[in-house]
A and B are shown apart, each in its own frame.
Chain A
Amino acid sequence: MTVSTPHVEAEHVPVAGPYRRMVKLFFANKLAVTGLIILALLLVFCFLGPLVHPTDQIHTQLADANLAPGTKGHPLGTDDVGRDVLGRLMIGGQTSLEIGIAAGLLATLIGTVWGAIAGYAGGWLDTVMMRVVDAGIAIPALFLLLVSATIFRPTVPVQIVIIGCVSWLVPARLVRAEALSLRSRDFVQAMKAMGGGHGRAVFRHIIPNAIGTVVVNATFQVADAILLIAYVSFLGLGVAPPATDWGAMLSKGISYTYDGYWWLIFPAGIAIVLVVSAFNCIGDGLRDSFEVRLQGR
């Protein structure tokens, strides 16, 4: 009996599990942590900022138009109809972040399910589903988005759904590739031998095992969705005023380039660069911690 005691004790020693290892690797990655901090600060700025710096973003005050930064009560100046730029940056950021995050997640969800089913099913169903993806990829998302913006009135939910529906193709390809290799693995075969159905195989085995790819791609999807929404708004087909987003703010500022009103251009532009870089850094960090193959590079 005394002999087995050390064994029991050995089991109590906390072993670093794969998740703990991933979290550790992620936080050891300076780029990823920087991205996370920038994102957190931007979220606080956009969603809690209006509590500290309340502004009227609905009514126009033409008497206060185009005030320079530093004017009392307007740290970043005012726009061409007298709205406070700092406050506008906050509510514009809310729109950009809400649409970007929701659309990125929706695209990932659609793409994951589509790719997992195609890869797991194989055969003709896979062929048909992947040719649909090929056709979708051939049509640039921005063009499709502009066409839909002329058909449907662009509100926030409509834009989320449209961006989600035009950008799920890349995750679908990635997840399909994973599903192809997972479906012939022993644990999936064993589950099927025990009488498990196709739905169980796809949703309980294929997708959870491809989660690394899915999570990493989701962050890149969000970054791309934020850029896409900025492009659409810049081209004048985004959410209708008085609502705004960073792309639309910049688009309006362009008319004043030659008047030297830099505060109508740079704050919004820099905000877009910051948030997109933050998501890309986080994605890179996550990829490094999920993919053992790339570690130590």
Chain B
Amino acid sequence: MIRFLAKRFGQALVVIALVTVIVFLLLHSVPGGPARGILGPQATTEAIAAFNHEHGFDRSLPEQYWMYVSGLLRGDLGESYTLNQSVSSLIGQRIPKTLVLTGLSTLLALLIAIPLGVWQGRRRKGLADYAITTLVFIGYATPVFFLALILVIVFAEKIPILPVQAPQAETLAGLFADSRGLILPILAGAIASVAVFSRYMRSAVLDNLAEDYVRTARAKGASERRVVWLHIMRNSLTPIIAMLGYQLPVLFSGALITESVFNYPGMGLLFWNAAQTSDFPILLGSVLVIAVATVVGSLIADILQAFVDPRVRGAIT
């Protein structure tokens, strides 16, 4: 177990290091470099040279990379070109809001998708299974923004019961105070994830139905309800846990879209606004934060899976 953990931690560190190299190289392929970004297109060549010298941008690439990494270790992600604030404080303000949005919509998605997948797996090839499979296929193929738009048209325009705009509060408490505004963004994110999760759950249930332990439980006289909802469901959850870790980039991409549709003041909206103004420190700082979150997320998922599933636990000690 210790060896597995050490190996997995080592891998995660290597991957994070590679991500910093990718982000660093992207930062350097920006036309004009940071000097143009901060001083503007009117800046003279001398001013740019002076700026580059002052900030060390005229040194060799490895030296600059070292400066960049040591900055990262101190939590310094650079300064925004347009917002006059450090990138780390901007991201720090926004990330809890994005976590609330993605967390709640993922939770809702799991609450719908897990029973749905189990139910579908039990009634495979029935009419209901085909109907839901079709719906899931359509849900999977629907871009989040189209889904969000349909929700807006239905619940804010035709039946005006919910606000279109997400709450604009600065604090988390403020967000929840205006919780009606959270419903549509959460719903849009959740529907998109239900399609993916229920598909996984359905095939995991199908795999487990053929296992010996199911036959044993049935032979011992366990009721069908007990077999399905206790034995099969518990065993089908492991692939879902593993998948959640790897699903993080998809969830963040979804957040980027829903936040820009509903004007929700999270990290996705920060990123989108930065893309409109070519604010590269924010863009690449966000990419780095999300990448690190993904690596950590899949690490946690792997470890959790090892604890939950005795077969995996046996294979790694």
Interface residues of A (CB under 8 A from B): 131-132, 134-144, 146-147, 149-151, 223, 227, 230-231, 234-237, 247, 250-251, 254, 257-258, 262, 265, 269, 272-274, 276-277, 280-281, 297
Contact = CB atoms under 8 A, between A and B. Distances in A.
Given A131-B18, A134-B15, 7 more contacts: A138-B292, A140-B290, A147-B280, A150-B280, A234-B257, A257-B153, A277-B137
Contacts of A257: 149, 152-153, 157
A147 B14 contact: no
B275 A273 contact: no
Contacts of A237: 275
B291 interface: yes
B15 A140 contact: no
B239 to A, nearest CB: 16
A223 B294 CA distance: 23
Given A138-B15, A144-B287, A272-B146, A281 B275 contact: no
Interface stretch (B87-95, B229-237, B248-256, B307-315): B248-256
A135 B291 CA distance: 8
Contacts of B256: 142-143, 235
Contacts of B138: 273, 277
B284 interface: yes
Interface residues of B, number: 50
A134 B299 CA distance: 12
B19 A236 contact: no
A276 B22 contact: no
B286 interface: yes
A223 B29 CA distance: 30
Given A131-B18, A150-B278, A269-B146, A143 B286 contact: yes
Interface string B1-45: 000000000010011101100100010011100000000000000
B18 A135 contact: yes
A150 B277 CA distance: 9
Interface in B266-283: 271-272, 275-276, 278, 280, 283
B272 A139 contact: no
A265 B141 contact: no
B295 interface: yes
A138 B257 contact: no
A134 B146 contact: no
B271 A138 contact: no
A134 B308 CA distance: 24
B131 to A, nearest CB: 13
Nearest to A253: B149
Contact of A138 (B29, B275, B280, B294): B294
Most buried by B among A134, A138, A223, A276: A138
Contacts of B287: 139, 143-144, 147
B291 A138 contact: yes
A131 B290 contact: no
Nearest to A258: B157
A151 B142 contact: no
A143 B149 contact: no
A273 B149 contact: no
B291 A231 contact: no
B161 to A, nearest CB: 16
